[in-house]
Amino acid sequence: MEPNLSDAGAGGGEDRLSALPGDLLVHILLKLRNAPAAARTSVLARRWRRAWALLPELHFPRGTHPDSIRAALTAHDAPALGHLFVTTTTTEVTLESVEAWLTIAARRLSGVLSFQISKRWNMAGERGALNLPCFEKATKVGLTLSSNGLALPPSGVFTRLADLELFGITLHGPCTLGDLVSTPRCPSLRRLCVYSVTGLLDKLIIHSKSLLQLELNNLPSLELLDVVVIALQDLVVNSCFSDHSRPVATVGSTYL
């Protein structure tokens, strides 16, 4: 179905850009892979004023302030948000401002979340950990946080999540990673990749009926690995347990 780009109430005369089909306008804006730039095209023609808000995926490049991301997600009017990509290097933003747009995204997103922070937080006055909401409809979540703190949601089910990637994160409690990714809360999880994660990760206990691929890299603080994953087909454990002289690892799988 062609997106509805009605220009009711807009002023000015007809122009060639306004004559383009709505789905073509959306396709053109998707090629920008830049939500703020797409929003700025609203000045080009009357029918472009709502086009950016109908994009099925939103990309926010480095330098986009969290308040702008929150405003864009609030104004987003597409039937579904299939992809959300956010990259930031800003050290002046607060955890609360990031959590504000994450909360909105958790309600809207039905596909992939990719969130990257390439600098440490300005920790003055901060509590030190970003609270991740439950993404019930997301199919993939990838977080790269440059050793910044993350608190996993203590409740809620990631019903459709099939792929979870965690890179450069300091985990905070009370929820453990094992509790989150086990079957009761991630019933569809097929791939889990954990790389350079510290904090609340001395023990990783996973009981999953769906997990097929598990990758653990550079987890020196890991002391106990207990995996009961009947369908597991691919297991990678690299540079783990190095902080402990007597680590314990048990793996239960039909295929390994």
Q: Are 115 and 144 in contact (CB under 8 A)?
A: yes
234: in domain: no
Q: Residue 98 is which amino acid?
A: V
Question: What are the structure tokens assigned to 46, written together?
Answer: 């009357």
Q: Give me the helix-helix angle, 66-75 and 95-108, nearest 10°.
A: 20
The helix (H) or strand (E) run that includes residue 108 is helix 95-108
45: in domain: no
- Residue positions counted in the chain: 256
32: in domain: no
250: in domain: no
Across the 256 residues of the chain, what is the mean pLDDT of every consecutive 10-residue run? 45 56 63 62 58 79 88 88 88 83 96 90 63 98 94 97 97 96 98 96 96 96 94 94 80 80
- Containing domain of residue 152, as a range? 56-201
pLDDT of 46: 59
71: in domain: yes
pLDDT of 121: 66
**Could you tell me the pTM of the whole model?**
0.83
Cα→Cα distances 233→28, 52, 175, 251, Å: 41, 42, 27, 12
161: in domain: yes
DSSP three-state, residue 45: coil
CA–CA distance, 214 with 193 (Å, rounded to integer): 6
Cis amide leading into 56 (omega within 30) = no
123: in domain: yes
Number of structural domains (the chain) is 1
CA–CA distance, 115 with 87 (Å, rounded to integer): 6
